[in-house]
Amino acid sequence: MFNRTRKLLPRGTAIVITLGVLLLTYQIVLAYYLLGGKWSGFPQYYIRSVSGSPGSYISIIDSAVGSWNATPTKARLYLTSPNQESIQITAAYYGSPANCNGSMIVWSGCAYMYPNPYDGIYTYGTIKINRTVIEAYIYSGIKTQGVVAHEIGHILGLGHVSGQALMYSTDQRYDWWYIYTPQADDINGVNARYP
Ligand SMILES: [Zn+2]
């Protein structure tokens, strides 16, 4: 029965189907992913705080913000004084594993947007940078900057993608691809979110 059905298919069919699947995969891999929520506009203002000895965290955070401000997008985040901020970036010893938005996992960075990451207009965002993990695994300065830049991507409304972009979910983006700053796909995503 199955053999008969297969014989009825023209020879080229399998190749065409394979190509079709490949093209589809290619599209999915390269496409940015939008969480659903967004800011009403830019600029937005951030503060940063570091618990424990500050080391180079302050300049690393500012460099990560700068990497987004340098993109050809509308996203612009400027430093402000406490109580004026819409985004708070904190580097602290959160432990490992630690709670990130309800999940106990090992994380170097975690972001959340209020009132809802997945819908409506954001009014506040928090980024946590986990010194416990970063220092246990001896992240370099540029790798730490990449963690902050990735979390800022979430703050802007981007979700994870499966290709070579800043919004790839794991450390593979630094350790295999040396990605520390917004890439074309990340920029396309922010431009789609804020045309
Ligand atoms: Zn992420």
> Can you give the CATH number for the domain in which 137 is found?
3.40.390.10
In a domain, 64, yes or no: yes
Q: Which residues are CB-contacts of 173 (< 8 A; sequence separation ≥ 6)?
A: 146, 150, 164, 165, 166, 179
Residue with tokens 């430093």: 79
Confidence at residue 140, expressed as pLDDT on a 0 to 100 scale: 96
| Structural domain range at position 74 | 44-193
In a domain, 162, yes or no: yes
In a domain, 26, yes or no: no
Whole-number Å distance, alpha carbon 7 to ligand 1 midpoint, is 47
| pTM for the full predicted model | 0.85
Confidence at residue 8, expressed as pLDDT on a 0 to 100 scale: 44
Confidence at residue 84, expressed as pLDDT on a 0 to 100 scale: 98
Q: Which residues are CB-contacts of 15 (< 8 A; sequence separation ≥ 6)?
A: none
- Separation in Å, CA 194 to CA 40, 73, 123, 166: 9, 8, 16, 18
Whole-number Å distance, alpha carbon 106 to ligand 1 midpoint, is 12
In a domain, 5, yes or no: no
In a domain, 11, yes or no: no
Amino acid at 35: L
Count up the domains in the chain and report the number: 1
Whole-number Å distance, alpha carbon 154 to ligand 1 midpoint, is 7
Confidence at residue 10, expressed as pLDDT on a 0 to 100 scale: 47
Confidence at residue 11, expressed as pLDDT on a 0 to 100 scale: 53
Confidence at residue 3, expressed as pLDDT on a 0 to 100 scale: 38
In eight-state DSSP terms, residue 29 is H
In a domain, 132, yes or no: yes
Confidence at residue 41, expressed as pLDDT on a 0 to 100 scale: 98
Whole-number Å distance, alpha carbon 150 to ligand 1 midpoint, is 6
Whole-number Å distance, alpha carbon 17 to ligand 1 midpoint, is 33
Whole-number Å distance, alpha carbon 93 to ligand 1 midpoint, is 19
Q: Which residues of the chain have pLDDT under 50?
A: 1-10, 13-28
